[in-house]
Structure 1
Amino acid sequence: MINYSFSVYDLEYFLLILVRVACFVHTAPFFSLRNTPSRVRIGISFFTSILLYQALTPAEAVVYSTLTEYTIIVMKEAIVGLLIGFSASMCTSIVNFAGSIADMETGLSMVTLMDPTSRESTSITGALYQYGLMLLMISTGMYRYLFGALADTFILIPVNGAVFRTDSLLNSVIEFLGNYVIIGFRIILPIFCAILLLNAVLGVLAKVAPQVNMFAVGMQLKILVGLSIIFFTAGMLPGIADFVFGEMKEMIDSFVGGMM
């Protein structure tokens, strides 16, 4: 006869797993999209927690004597889930930074759209890169890696076993900011070079033919050249995604290492 007993301690342990998973789903890229229904995110969190609970053995370290101590444990699990999801979500902002610089160079900086991940206004080129990155995340199965990384954190960081090392986490963020600028400028380097050459040509023409309004001509040429470069460099998007996904894996590893 199969025993389906489920004690109060098991329920408390399951709730701690659910808190970490739910916080991760709330902040992780692709799953935190605004157009994702809340019921879908709740369902993903609940059923993923059930699978993880079946694979994990309730840890003996989850002991407490008062409700306040259990609340502290819940908050620790919530912070762990938020930091893991935030470390992955930060990397997707690289394409928004690149899109903002590209639109500033082409004269489209006043055209803004809603970013599906950060829920903030972003440039039109940044939104284009963002949706392309989300599409590649689905097609390459990167979302499976995120859930696999989340499952591995329960082995590296057991429930109520997180130790927050602020120095390590701060160093990870500082290192990311350096890579953030480098990768962002590498993405828009073709546009930047093309607009730089165009500005040089317009400067020469302004001296040769001062009667021509180069300001009005230059605005239209910049938009035309910028959109053309974006069109011809669309094939670079898989390479951009590789850079971003690689940075995402490194950030998750460094953040998890800072909580072990």
Structure 2
Amino acid sequence: MEPVLALTDTQISTWVAAFMLPLFRIAAVLMTMPIFGTTLVPNRVRLYLSLAITVVVAPSLPPMPAVHALDLSALLLIAEQILIGAALGLSLQMFFQAFVIAGQIIAVQMGMGFASMVDPVNGVSVAVIGQFFTMLVTLLFLAMNGHLVVFEVLIESFTTLPVGEGLVVANFWDLVLRLGWVLGAGLILVLPAITALLVVNIAMGVMTRAAPQLNIFSIGFPLTLVLGMGILWITLGDILNQYQPLAVDALQLLKEMIRAR
């Protein structure tokens, strides 16, 4: 008589939890983080990528708590993983939004606030310069393997913040308290350009005061626009030195949230 493979409920629950719980945390990060979490990447692709990453890293993760799929405890653990993953992804979104804010500020100052286009990432209309900064920071992030660092932090979170331990509220309050960091970082990025454009606007005001017959709208607007493009081109030469400290701060925030050293 051939032997019959008998599996207990505990064994099945352990195997399901070992794959299901990490999947929800990984999927939440991919659904909310920049680049992968945008509307340019279909949901099906993100789901397949989440499944692939989970299959690869699941054998090396710490033991998961045994849960039954339909128990309330399992639903609470799933909600916990979704919150942790979403918090990690949204904190990285803050870093990208700092460059979007920088582009919006400089576009308004140089008179290109009216030149807007549909952002395919967020599905809203943004200034063209803001969209340019978004593409620039995306390319820099990928060129410096920032996405690999995010995945490394994500996998490390299963060790420093194990499943079932509960949310560390103090760590996730850092995400809320650092919202002002986004606006401050955006202002720092374009502070030289804003200062130069302020000087240009002051000069236009002096010219209008000295020669009232000059039409400031027909002369000042195109001149401000041209000078603004030149100032933007000059300030982009130092964008890498401005990008690096902000990227380090953003990735350090991820590690602090998962209590990694």
What TM-score do the two structures reach when normalised by structure 2? Answer: 0.88
Structure with more relative contact order (C-alpha pairs < 8 Å, separation 6 or more): 1
Q: 1:172 to 1:78 in 2, by over 3 A?
A: closer
Q: Aligned partners of 1:117, 1:27: CA distance in 2, in Å?
A: 12
Deviation (angstroms), 1:240 = 2.8
Q: Which amino acid aligns with 1:242?
A: Q
Which of 9, 25, 28 in structure 1 is aligned with 2:30? 25
Which residue is equivalent to 2:130? Answer: 126
Q: How many residues align?
A: 252
Q: 1:72 to 1:42 in 2, by over 3 A?
A: same
Which of 196, 199, 215 in structure 2 is aligned with 1:213? 215
Which residue is equivalent to 1:97? Answer: 101
Is 1:132–1:237's contact at 8 Å kept on the other side of the alignment? no
The question of 1:82 aligning with 2:86 is answered yes
Q: 1:250 to 1:117 in 2, by over 3 A?
A: farther
Which of 188, 191, 195 in structure 2 is aligned with 1:189? 191
Q: Aligned partners of 1:45, 1:217: CA distance in 2, in Å?
A: 55
Using the TM superposition, name which of 19-28 and 63-72 deviates more. 63-72
Secondary structure class of the residue paired with 1:113: strand
Q: Aligned partners of 1:177, 1:42: CA distance in 2, in Å?
A: 29
Q: Aligned partners of 2:237, 2:12: CA distance in 1, in Å?
A: 55
Q: Aligned partners of 1:117, 1:256: CA distance in 2, in Å?
A: 27
Percent of pairs with identical residues: 23
Query: For structure 2, which runs of at least 5 residues remain unmatched after alignment?
Result: 1-6
Q: Aligned partners of 2:13, 2:93: CA distance in 1, in Å?
A: 35
Q: Aligned partners of 1:93, 1:244: CA distance in 2, in Å?
A: 12
Is 2:157–2:258's contact at 8 Å kept on the other side of the alignment? yes
What TM-score do the two structures reach when normalised by structure 1? Answer: 0.88
Deviation (angstroms), 1:14 = 0.5
Is 1:172–1:254's contact at 8 Å kept on the other side of the alignment? no
Q: 1:160 to 1:131 in 2, by over 3 A?
A: same
Which of 132, 138, 152 in structure 1 is aligned with 2:142? 138
Q: 1:102 to 1:142 in 2, by over 3 A?
A: same
Query: For structure 1, which runs of at least 5 residues remain unmatched after alignment?
Result: none
Q: Aligned partners of 1:191, 1:32: CA distance in 2, in Å?
A: 31
